[in-house]
Chain A
Amino acid sequence: MNNALFQSFRSKTLLNIAARFLALIIVFLFFAIFVEDGKFYTLRNLENIVRQSSVYATAALGMTFVIIIAGIDLSVGSIIALAVVVVAWTLNLQIDGPGGELVYLVHQYPTVTPLLACVLAIGASSAVGLLNGALIVRLRIVPFIVTLGSMGIIRGLAKGIAGERDIYPPEETWIGGLMDPTLTNKAKSWMILPAGVWILILCIAVAAFILKYTRFGRHVYAVGSNEETARLCGVPVGRTKLIVYGLTGFFCALAGFMQFSYIGGVGQPTTGVMYELFVIAAVIIGGASFSGGEGSILGTIIGALIITILYMGGQQMGWPKWVQEMVIGGIIILAVAVDQLRHRKLT
């Protein structure tokens, strides 16, 4: 009998993921059937879904950590915009050339400049994340308020750096090509998937590994499940939270590179508005709980795909934008309601 119970326990977590996968398939089939002419399940559209979902999914990796520690980060959309703008701004830098005339840095140093752009964007985004974490830990302000504030501050900062305009860098670089489709582009078809998607896949593996197999990962779950217990057991609670928010900033920078490429290599300071909604929704639909201690990377990825399919499917069905927004909002409430019901059954 013990063995049977053991089996049922092991399948409980499996069941959770399986149920989400089923939801993903149902949502997909819905649009596959109702979008006319089978346009929805063409390879090209599938590639588009993957490209679009990569931005959400990458940011959602960090958000998974945050929600497992029972926190929240509303500033992800703004941090993505900051990364986009910092990349464009760096690629648009001008310096004094050899003849005394102004030349673009990227023309002078074509290999180093994109790298510099990435380093600056990652540095800025991670710093914002760490700052969020420091305010939450040191000043003991609730995460909702801290990140609500930084959502506004960082959006303003991005607009300030860009001078309230879109920045058009003078040169195409590999950053701008991260999300180039590989199906229609012969030169890149050897990659099978866009480079940005490969980056995402690598990040998924790393994030899942960290959560499952490192001391830090165990600490993240412990802090989220019961902060008092974590403190009793000597877990560095403050440091764990700080790193988690910093990590979210880091993943937002990567999401920013993808977004930069996805919107055509433009430094648009108004990009990524409402992304916090999509990203949080992806994590919650993926099975994380707002009360902390629960959540998985695999679930989050499924959640990000569901959100993207709803979004793009809605577009292709010709739903007006206001309907799409309402549907996504409704889905979030539904996911949280299901989460609550599940918890009530457990206790």
Chain B
Amino acid sequence: MRGIEKHFGATRALAGVDLSVAPGEIMALVGENGAGKSTLMKVLSGAHSPDAGSLLLDGTPYTPTNPLHARESGIAMIYQELSLAPHLSTMENILLGIEPMKRGLLDWKTMRAKASVALEAVGLEAIAPETPVRELSIAQQQLVEIARAVALDSRVLVLDEPTSSLTAVDIEKLFKLVRALSARGISIIYISHFLEEIELLSDRFTVLRDGSSVGSGITADFSRDAIIALMVGRNVDELYPRNKHTAGAIALEITELSGIDKPKSASFQLYEGEILGIAGLVGAGRTELLEAIFGLEPITNGDVSVGIYSGYASPAQRWEQHMGMVSEDRKTQGLALGLSIADNITLPKLQGLGPGRLVMPAQQEAACTNWIEEIPIKCESARQQTSDLSGGNQQKVAIARLLHANVNILLLDEPTRGIDVGSKAQIYRLIDSLARGDSSKGQKPKAILLVSSYLPELLGTCDRVAVMCRGELGEPRPVEEWDEHSLMTAAVG
């Protein structure tokens, strides 16, 4: 892959990536969340077509038009989310789309034979080809996916975070298999956050940062620290307003809070006028922590205290306790994109927008116009459909909702994900001004819990930062005691 670029609207997801992998080589692709790894792999698999750059497969130009084409060309992808049909048998899954036929009918005999060969290649010879996939364990299902790639005679195998849901024993087995496949001449692209895995497994690595490939080399020649430095090494620009915040009384106290799987016994205190950051990798349990606090996920143990209230509370009760949350995924969770800006902003607090239980659209819009000007949200009017806005402005709508509801505690989950730099800067300034408060307008300093995967953002805006790793939340420490390197080291465990 040479000089691959990809733009989504105004956002540049890939800004010139060079990547190569030799036959039989295990190449690790590393980078922070949002560095462009998944986008790059989607280009490789034909799901996206690149805006610039070229792809060569065995020295000949290769332009995948769709995922099927990529598969036929010998490129197999194994995503985090498994893509098997759970009700079908193992052999049907392995040969899905390339079922052997005889006189227009399925040739079950050949199918069984071919599937057995593929299963043997991945060390699953104990599994009968007729077994429905849903009866297999997650680790076995993953191997079935790899068997599918083997049956297709794939030459390039892409594994995207394959160990995230595996146990240590299964990981060991998987590594053995990957090595065996590479010995057969199959090229492996291995994507992972976990640097220890990369050190164990890969021959070479390539680091992606902000959509560009910033370095590559022989894994054995680089220390873990050197790779981390490549992953995070960038200049902190002028995005962040560094104002002094004065911490007041305790606004929110979490004691040994546990959810069903994550978080595991998390504790911290959040003060008024403070921005507390939570760093960690995707899947570390940060979103689950916020959701447990906000009542969207059950609490199995521990306590959440907000002022005089203590224990579990529903989201409706949390809003009444002047707590609000911006969720990580604005499309599926955060916003009702089909509704107007006014509807989205006022939804948690429709009281007072008309007599009794009535809601007057004119009052709804008037209440929002204020925030639209102050934040500011770029739109035609409060009646505009939210889906018409840019990502950054949509995110500002999600934050305006908390301001309309007059919250004192803000839980922000990735508030700047996937938005342009200009909007990011506005959101940072907004967060900062909320934490400072404004005595001239009688606004008390607010307490802010900020979850982010973007390290400069945490270092630039937060007063204290805690790191979450595999469900466990570390001790919050003043931001001065952290740098990107130490955060990343703590996050990868």
Q: Is the CB of B336 within 8 A of A293?
A: yes
On whether A213 and B354 interact (CB within 8 A), knowing A9-B380, A218-B343, A225-B339, the answer reads yes
Tell me, rounded to whole Å, the shortest Cβ–Cβ distance linking A107 to chain B. Answer: 44
A109 contacts which chain B residues (CB < 8 A)? none
Q: Which of A10, A214, A234, A347 contacts B314 (CB 8 A)?
A: A234
Q: Is the CB of B359 within 8 A of A234?
A: no
Query: Interface readout for B340-366 with A: 1 if CB under 8 Å, 0 if not?
Result: 000110111011001001111100000
With the chains together, A33 CA to B319 CA distance in Å?
A: 60
With the chains together, A167 CA to B38 CA distance in Å?
A: 68
A138 contacts which chain B residues (CB < 8 A)? none
Q: Which of A213, A233, A236, A347 contacts B401 (CB 8 A)?
A: A233
With the chains together, A293 CA to B387 CA distance in Å?
A: 13
Q: Which of B317, B347, B383 contacts A222 (CB 8 A)?
A: B347
With the chains together, A2 CA to B343 CA distance in Å?
A: 21
Q: Is A228 an interface residue when CB atoms closer than 8 A count as contact?
A: yes
A212 contacts which chain B residues (CB < 8 A)? 361
In the complex, chain B residues 360-390 whose Cβ is within 8 Å of any chain A Cβ: 360-361, 380-381, 383-385, 387-388
Q: Is the CB of B334 within 8 A of A9?
A: no
Q: Is the CB of A232 within 8 A of B385?
A: no
With the chains together, A6 CA to B341 CA distance in Å?
A: 13
B381 contacts which chain A residues (CB < 8 A)? 6, 9
In the complex, chain A residues 179-238 whose Cβ is within 8 Å of any chain B Cβ: 212-218, 221-222, 225-226, 228-236
| Residue of A2, A212, A217, A233 with highest tally of chain B CB at under 10 A | A233
- Chain B, interface size category, equals 35 or more
A228 contacts which chain B residues (CB < 8 A)? 327, 332-333
Q: Is the CB of A233 within 8 A of B319?
A: yes
Q: Is the CB of A215 within 8 A of B359?
A: yes
Q: Is B96 an interface residue when CB atoms closer than 8 A count as contact?
A: no
B351 contacts which chain A residues (CB < 8 A)? 215
In the complex, chain A residues 281-319 whose Cβ is within 8 Å of any chain B Cβ: 293-294
Q: Is the CB of B314 within 8 A of A213?
A: no
With the chains together, A148 CA to B413 CA distance in Å?
A: 40
Q: Is the CB of B333 within 8 A of A233?
A: no
Q: Is the CB of A232 within 8 A of B380?
A: no
Q: Is the CB of A222 within 8 A of B358?
A: no
A139 contacts which chain B residues (CB < 8 A)? none
Query: Interface readout for A325-347 with B: 1 if CB under 8 Å, 0 if not?
Result: 00000000000000000000011
Q: Is B493 an interface residue when CB atoms closer than 8 A count as contact?
A: no
Q: Which residue of chain B is the closest to A343 with respect to CB atoms?
A: B338
Q: Which residue of chain B is the closest to A209 with respect to CB atoms?
A: B358
With the chains together, A235 CA to B344 CA distance in Å?
A: 12
Q: Which of B348, B354, B380 contacts A233 (CB 8 A)?
A: B348
With the chains together, A230 CA to B332 CA distance in Å?
A: 11
Q: Which of A218, A231, A236 contacts B350 (CB 8 A)?
A: A218
B346 contacts which chain A residues (CB < 8 A)? 218
With the chains together, A9 CA to B385 CA distance in Å?
A: 9
Q: Is A14 an interface residue when CB atoms closer than 8 A count as contact?
A: no
Q: Is A5 an interface residue when CB atoms closer than 8 A count as contact?
A: yes
Q: Which residue of chain A is the closest to B346 with respect to CB atoms?
A: A218
Q: Is the CB of A217 within 8 A of B359?
A: yes
With the chains together, A226 CA to B359 CA distance in Å?
A: 20
On whether A216 and B357 interact (CB within 8 A), knowing A234-B315, A294-B338, the answer reads yes
With A221-B336, A232-B334 already in contact, 18 other A-B pairs whose C-beta atoms are closer than 8 Å: A2-B380, A6-B381, A9-B381, A213-B358, A213-B359, A215-B351, A215-B359, A218-B343, A218-B359, A221-B343, A222-B336, A229-B333, A231-B296, A232-B315, A232-B325, A234-B316, A235-B347, A236-B316
Give me 20 A-to-B residue pairs in the complex whose CB atoms sit less than 8 angstroms apart, sorted by A's number. Answer: A2-B380, A6-B381, A9-B380, A212-B361, A214-B359, A215-B357, A215-B358, A218-B343, A218-B347, A218-B350, A222-B339, A226-B335, A230-B336, A231-B296, A232-B333, A234-B314, A234-B348, A293-B336, A293-B338, A347-B387
List residues of A whose CB falls within 8 A of some B CB: 2, 5-6, 9-10, 212-218, 221-222, 225-226, 228-236, 293-294, 346-347
